[in-house]
Structure 1
Amino acid sequence: MSAAPRTFPPLYKSSGKESEDRLAFFHILERLKTQKRTGWVDNGIPNAESISDHMYRMAVLAMCTSDTKLDVAKCVMLAVVHDLAEAQVGDIAPREGTPKEEKRRLEAEAMHNFVHEMLHDSPAAQRIMALWQEYEERETPEAKFVKDLDLFEMAAQASEYEKAHGKDLQPFFDSSVPHLKHPEVRAWGADLLKEREARRFLNLITVPQLPTPYGCSIVISTEKSGITSRTLKTGR
């Protein structure tokens, strides 16, 4: 049975009062805190991360770069703004069948509404729109870097959900890590995959009892999260 088509809240109409409309924008940002990321919900992840959870970690990741050629402050702002339109349209997933052109149109419409109807084309509104457009166009080094952070953050979250819930979320790795381009983020991705493979290897270990000299035995207990306990039993 196919899912019902996504419905969207009505676009905001300006009251004509800047202070009232600005406050409405501040309130609409709450949706980013409460809306869960669709991919995790579709995979049955309990208490899945919100859109703003995703953007927050991206912003901190941007601060962790050692690339001195990047404008780190701009990267942080790009990370915070890049999914802002989802406050209006939600996290539209590929399985919903929305064409990319239509998704882009909906998001651009939402941003236009925020900028013109809610923020009255203020300098802040223009700054937010410029950042969003820069990310969407992917022309600058900062925009390309933040796109890599978007992919890496998703892979990191997938790894954490695999560990916490015992799920196989391979498609999230396939659609992210191989597409990383920035050398530093690619290295982070490689480290993440090594960590994941080590954990998966430990999950396969079954060692009921290991004989040892001097009449002792070591019992190793394993779980999906790895080795959880070691018990030393003596034969004396």
Structure 2
Amino acid sequence: MARVLVVEDESAIAELIAINLRHAGFDVVLAASAEQAQAAIDAVLPDLVLLDWMLPGASGVELARRWRLAPRSRELPILLLTARAEEKDKITGLDAGADDYLVKPFSPGELLARIRAVLRRRAPMATDTVIEISGLRLDPITRRVGRGEAECRLGPTEFKLLHYLMTHPEHVHSRAQLLDRVWGDHVFIEERTVDVHIKRLREALLPVHCAQLIETVRGAGYRLTHSAPTV
């Protein structure tokens, strides 16, 4: 479940955004000022920040610049929310480090679409990094997956699915979230398609004794665990 920090000083707007995000499966944290926002960032780095331009204490643009300069929050996805619609304002916000810019008023549908787009663009950040969990090793450059000297053969979709699960271990992902993160803009694919590819992925991992790393969480979705494989 992706964690979204909503930084908005108008409580009615903040609550409306939070309701829509929670309904879409996001974990939401609220902050009503620059000080609260910084405290939230210092406590737990979220997956994305919805950042209002006008805030008590410091502007959203100032916060974005600050976070971009700090090593810990440099890659933090930021979606700037503002009533300023002029081109120069958009340029200022994007130059400050925002990944995207949404002008008020906006629909819940557009907000969710923008959030998904930003998260998709940010997801490939670590595509060149070799990942290893419980002996299962995935190399994004060579596209090899294996354990020890043994390798397994994965189709393109199963590889992307495993890559996403391995970069988000122990997180429970709903079918809708996996469709959005792995399949991207293919919105007309049925959610049950995820079950088919999970089954194929498990079958592909059987030769390296890692199929059990992918757990079904009843009524919620799937997760990849750190449990040790058995030979």
TM-score, L = length of structure 1: 0.29
Larger Rg: 1
**Which structure would you say has the larger RCO, counting Cα contacts within 8 Å and 6 or more residues apart?**
1
Structure with the bigger percentage of helix: 1
Structure with the bigger percentage of strand: 2
